[in-house]
Structure 1
């Protein structure tokens, strides 16, 4: 009996640990902060492979060959979607990062703790921005009527907003906010009349911030923004059309129908309050616009289409 005990004592640990994430190799179980993880079979295989090679850069080909043999095409976005889902499940407890153009890496505990801290100025800016969102949402009931009146009487409304410029600025902010995901953000502005809109620029920034942040949270590798100005006629005024698409998991039909309800969330693996889409919808409608959700034909994830009243040609500022 003594010899058996001695033999067991010399066996290496059957539990791999990276920060608060543990993997029981013998039983094939993952635990995060003491709680078991619910993973699909594919996600389980990929995460186990990363745990066995923590800290090492793993290429798409290596993951494909070792986890799926010949079943997974390394050139497809399937791997990005799976890793994106794993990343959302882990949250901030384990750093699964993308090395652009090279592959993926699960940071060791030492690497994660030694990462450069977020500058205090950026943290303060984000806190202030969140406080402003809450304050503005609480005051929305009183300001909606004023916004509608402003849209109906351009002479008393705010100055025209260059929508393309505003979108570009918010995209740059999102690139910094979601830098650890190494997403590819693309903005395509259709040739023709510049998309101009009359309203409060801060309102447009808030709508864009909520929608683009949501796309960044769910995207596996890419977010595409399309922007166009659709000319109107005597019966139909011009419209500013914004399309935001990502390559994430998208939404099921019943989720699309229910989306936008205040506080309603479909997946707790991504941080958030559930207010973002609701706020964006309310603001767009306050200006007489429409917000609709669907499946992205380009990236196969979620597509958000925003239509806002544009400016008539006679209302556009003349070039100097």
Structure 2
């Protein structure tokens, strides 16, 4: 067709191709500059601390390690594991939030709001009270169990309400389960005198992370993130609705089970190492979706980069607010996440 000015209008197919090129370019920019920003932020995180270390010393400790140098020992044994853990855990939580929002079609879904992190913290309290000699791997297993328990409670309560699983009901069920499990955890902590032991998990943070923890996180990252990336195309279809997905030949139940397994794996590992770090899984997917669109092939990897960057920077900020003391990293992410959650809840309520 020709317009009134005689120019040939773009066909819908041509517009679609141009849109794909534009999105692909944006994704490439996010991934490229995101990785660079992540590496720079990790370098800053490693160099900053009670003893400030120059970036050139950080570089030398990586490529020319001197075991006799105190600075090199601090970098290798304390700060590098901390920075790597923050990046991995940020990616885990952001990807988990992306998967949850995709399979539930709920913009308020995230590990911290849907009871996943609270459930994991609850079972960790049980482990501290009844199995004090549990190893790092054992704590991670307890965390996986709790993550599944918390999610199951939220789904059960939300599904019993009239009118189906709406975003508002998910949020209310998540708030109820979070309050209930937090109360039980507090009771266990006080009665069995393990409050000091589990206080770190409630505050959230990556202080004290060692290479042993990193060795546990890396296999989880390979399995969980690979599964999440592989589900990207199918999650995009499922996010359009079950009827549409089934009509396009997708096995929605299998897809949701695999996505739920990836969420429990990633979130359980994150909570077992860093505790209850909230709102990373809520905020990051929304920011990513605004940048790259609704295709989860792009949302998931970009969320991983941006989530890692967010948590590394939050950890850096936690050490600069009140030196030489550290502010819990969960408090930093909450300062960003709570206003964002209120905004999303109000938007959903108004039907926008």
Query: Same-fold call, TM > 0.5?
Result: no
Larger Rg: 1
Higher helix share: 2
What TM-score does the superposition give when structure 1 sets the normalisation length?
0.24
How high is the TM-score relative to the length of structure 2? 0.23
